[in-house]
Amino acid sequence: MELLDNLALGFSTAFLVQNVLWCFVGVLLGTAVGVLPGIGPTATVAMLLPITFNFEPVTALIMLAGIYYGAQYGGSTTAILINLPGESSAAVTALDGHEMARQGRAGPALAAAAIGSFFAGTVATVILAVAAPPLADVALKFGPAEYFSLVLLGLIVSIALARGSALKALAMIALGILFGTVGQDIYTGTPRFTFDERSLYGGIDFVSVAVGLFGVAEILRNLENESTRSAVISKVRNLWPTREDRRRLVGPILRGTGLGSALGVLPGGGHVLASFTSYAVEKRVSKRPQEFGRGAIEGVAGPESANNAAAQTSFIPLLTLGLPAHPVMALMVGAFIVHGITPGPNVINDEPALFWGLIASMWIGNVLLVLLNLPLIGMWVQMLRIPYAVLFPMIILLAAIGTYSLNFNSWDVYAIVFFGLLGYILIKCGCEPAPMLLGFVLGPLLEEHLRRALIISRGDATVFLTRPISAVLLVVAVAALVVAVLPTIRKRREEVFTEEE
């Protein structure tokens, strides 16, 4: 009954006119950035974060969350119609979705993506509502030693799950932690790495780092590799799948939902990993594996269900532990902090309307996304005609104005330029910026809990091993690190991300 009372509170909050309106704006923007290649939800959330400063906290978080899971929907539309994934997790959807479109079956492919996304999003939101409260109760028993071990585990698992070289991912996390130490020492107030510049005493602004790494750097990369994006789209007909299609959809949607719900809580690109893993699983269990890559509807339904389920369950570690599972969740941590709320297990008790209102808004957002995507397919495709020369300068201008308006500090704008160039260089060197942002966000938490635990234990480092939960988390972290460097595991991880045949 308590769960029903909480959900009633959540829906009463989510159904407020302003919250429904901004939820609609969020999923609309999310669908748009999912459709447009090269922008993505991370850059969009980063650039819109300053705008939400004057919103009520629950309204701001509902809109930002809508952008994230809306992008998971939107990415599939152009992946299917013109073989141009707007979101990284939709890349695998293009393999069979575009083949179906070429065969004149774009309607069933889009319907399969929408049905799978809606079902998976709904189920994953139920899982979030059921699992979050008991996890938050467990997290309240954590002390500094347990939180240090948990943050360390999160960083190591994100290395293990990162695409590409594990060594490069480790270097990116270390670089992020280094940038996170800039500013005054949290206990002594001693300036660190500030070069006598008083503007850096408060540390590097999180929004500037995010906008630079994921906004400016991605724009520079896309300008370098601009594709023609010209396509002729015939009118999509027969959206409703045939009886045979519907029979073939059930298994992939159920398996994708379960897989995505489990992988979404993992640090790193859980939604991307979920979609690629789902495709590999469906190909392996299918009675017709030869159809994959040639228009198998299972190759659309499974990955789309998986990445949308993962998008919802990635909120579990954020809302219960205050730990981001990937860069967008790191930005959500920033949104909590900007509005004076410390993310973690206390949110459910201190801000119940916000906690349950955010969860309830996800159901509303899923319904809005179904209504937005299928009827408005033509509009989303027309957006691809907007030239980069118009689109990208506007994005950078709005991002710079929004970031400057937070603190009215010109150093924040300089930081956008610096981290934009740095992010571009890292991309050219084959390094993903995402682990760096996770290191930047989690590094200060790691230092704070390490030092607090040592102060409480009077310098006794064995406190991390003598406390049972902390010891278990450290053992799991070491095991994850060992597994990450095993040659067979490394090879299999690459196979999962490159499964295209």
d(CA 292, CA 95): 8
Total-model pTM? 0.73
Please check whether residue 311 is in contact with residue 346, taking contact to mean a CB–CB distance below 8 angstroms: no
Alpha-carbon distance of 238 to 249, in angstroms, equals: 17
**What is the rounded distance in angstroms from the CA atom of residue 392 to the CA atom of residue 388?**
6
**Residues in Cβ contact with 119 at an 8 Å cutoff, skipping those fewer than 6 apart:** 253, 257, 305
Per-residue pLDDT, 224: 72
Q: Which domain holds residue 375?
A: 2-500
Is the distance from CB of 279 to CB of 498 less than 8 angstroms?
A: no
> What would the 3-class secondary structure string for 267-328 be?
CCCHHHHHHHHHHHHHHHHCCCHHHCCCCCCHHHHHHHHHHHHHHHHCHHHHHHHCCCCCHH
Residue 94 CA to residue 426 CA, distance in Å, equals 27
How many other CB atoms are there within 10 angstroms of residue 294's CB atom? 14
Number of other residues whose CB lies within 10 A of the CB of residue 203: 18
> Tokens 């503007």 sit at which residue?
199
Handedness of CA 468, 149, 312, 87 (dihedral sign): negative
What are the respective helix, strand and coil percentages of the chain, to the nearest 5? 75, 0, 25
Number of domains observed in the structure of the chain: 1
pLDDT of the residue at 22? 92
Q: State the pairing for strand pair 191-192/183-184.
A: antiparallel
pLDDT of residue 422: 92
What is the residue-level pLDDT of the chain in tens, covering all 501 positions? 677 888 888 889 999 999 999 999 998 888 887 777 656 677 778 777 777 878 888 999 999 888 888 887 777 777 787 766 656 667 778 778 888 887 878 888 888 888 888 898 889 888 888 888 888 887 777 888 988 988 888 788 777 666 667 788 888 989 999 998 898 888 888 888 888 888 888 888 877 887 788 778 877 877 776 554 444 355 566 667 778 888 888 889 999 999 888 888 776 656 677 887 888 888 888 887 778 877 888 888 888 898 888 888 888 888 888 778 777 888 888 888 888 888 888 888 888 888 899 989 988 988 888 887 777 776 776 776 677 777 778 778 877 877 777 677 788 888 889 998 999 999 888 887 878 888 888 888 888 889 999 998 888 888 999 888 899 989 988 887 777 666 555 565 555 555 444
* Cα–Cα distance list, 369 to 296, 299, 332, 489 (Å): 24, 21, 21, 37
Helix (H, G, I), strand (E, B) or coil at 184: strand
Q: Give the count of beta carbons closer than 10 Å to the beta carbon of residue 429.
A: 8
Q: Is 172 within 8 Å of 158 (Cβ atoms)?
A: no
pLDDT value at residue 495? 53
Other residues' Cβ atoms within 10 Å of the Cβ of residue 384? 19
- The structure tokens listed for 257 are 């939902």
CB 139 within 8 A of CB 265: no
CA separation for the pair 116, 110 (Å, rounded): 10
- The helix/strand/coil state of 34 is helix
